[in-house]
Amino acid sequence: MTTAGKKRKKIFLWAGIVVLLGLAVTAAVLTGGTEAETVAVKTGDITRAVEDTGYIQPATNYDLHAVQNAKVVRVPVATGQRVEEGQTLVVLENLDLSMQIEDTRSQLSQTSATIQAAQAAVQRMELELQKAQDNLERLRSLHESGAIPTVEFEEAEVGVKTLEQSLQEQTALLESAQAQQAGMNRSLQNLNRKEKQLTLQSPVDGIVLSLPAEQEQVVNPGALLVSVAVPDKLEIKADILSDDLGEVKQGQRVKITAPVLGTKVLYGKVKEIYPLAEEKQSALGVIQRRVPVIIALDDPANLKPGYEVRVAIETSTVRDVPVIPREAVRTLQDGGKEVMVVQNNRVQHKPVKTGLGDREYIEITEGLAAGDIIIRDGSLDLRDNTKIKPVKG
């Protein structure tokens, strides 16, 4: 046999082996089928939720600010300290205010002395006027009887009018001093009220949450000096994407989880939704529009102000409906949806309609019933009537 003949013989031999192997694989497939994980349609509940990160904060928080230019002279409390209502937290000093109070008190003292002197002068003039009026009446009778000349009577009349004029002037001076005193008293009351503002007291029995004030620090109006919170009343503030806020409403239940809680799950309710969105920058630097949502906590457990938690606001719930894994549903080019049903170990593509869904499962509103067996992975390329070897998930 020639060399060329030997080569052709080897080629035919290998070709025969490949054909035999192909027939063997085909036979195995036709006999056992393609392995695919299957699941049964079950009846369950589906809850759709808006999830995001939130932070624990006091439900009742009091921020105390400076209302005037002043210097911090004493801080008798510390951050985290429990305080009682009325307890002094920060003491300020305003030297300009102290000088105004001292000057006003000095002027008040002088005005009081002026008023006393004016009152004495008015009383004296009133007595003199009364005597002059009595004397004028006596002289009038004598003048009418011709016992005294007209000149003497007229001089008495002039004396009475002069005393009346002097009394009016002195009374006006007294009234002016009294009005000045009243104005100074009002000014002093306002100054004293401002002086009281220099001593910041706790409005409630609580805990010092933050204490920016430092001794000898000079502060301007509006500067935050101390925050006091009621420690046992906590809430959650979560900044929710404005696009996700369409179904969020007050009163909806919220599921709360956090690493510090371990396996424990807390629940709360949506208490308040802010009326305006705020621009926030994400960790990736993306500017987002977010709306603050306040969540009331039924039980704070071991959570503390500032802790980070995960919130899931439950917006919709359906109960006792057919549900399947989300990955089992395939979306078609025309927008329709289908699943691969397994009957007699063969695949059948079946259109379905879906309803509410969460991260894992989706509701089937039409096309399947509880107990139906389907292919779990809807992305598998399995044609109708393909024989499979089911692997239960």
The string of pLDDT tens digits covering residues 279-335 is: 888 778 888 999 999 999 988 888 988 899 999 999 999 999 999 999 999 999 898
Condensed to tens digits (0 to 9), the pLDDT of residues 212-236 reads 999 999 999 999 999 999 877 899 9
- 92 closest CA partner among 120, 58, 68, 108: 68
> Above 90 in pLDDT, residue 26?
no
For the record, the structure tokens of 366 come out as 């039409």
Task: Give the pLDDT of residue 340.
Answer: 95
Task: Give the pLDDT of residue 61.
Answer: 86
- 173 closest CA partner among 126, 117, 124: 117
The whole-angstrom separation of Cα 41 and Cα 350 is 14
For the record, the structure tokens of 334 come out as 């025309």
Task: Give the pLDDT of residue 4.
Answer: 53
Higher pLDDT, 282 or 26: 282
The whole-angstrom separation of Cα 330 and Cα 380 is 10
Higher pLDDT, 16 or 110: 110
Interacting residues of 153 by C-beta distance below 8 A, sequence separation 6+: 136, 139, 140, 142, 143
> Above 70 in pLDDT, residue 6?
no
Task: Give the pLDDT of residue 358.
Answer: 85
Q: How confident is the model at residue 264 (pLDDT cuts 50, 70, 90)?
A: very high
> Above 90 in pLDDT, residue 22?
no
pTM, 2 dp:
0.58
Percent of the chain scored above 90 by pLDDT? 72
Q: What is the mean pLDDT of the chain?
A: 89
Task: Give the pLDDT of residue 186.
Answer: 95
Calculate mean pLDDT across residues 348-357.
93
Calculate mean pLDDT across residues 77-98.
94
Calculate mean pLDDT across residues 158-176.
93
Calculate mean pLDDT across residues 355-370.
91
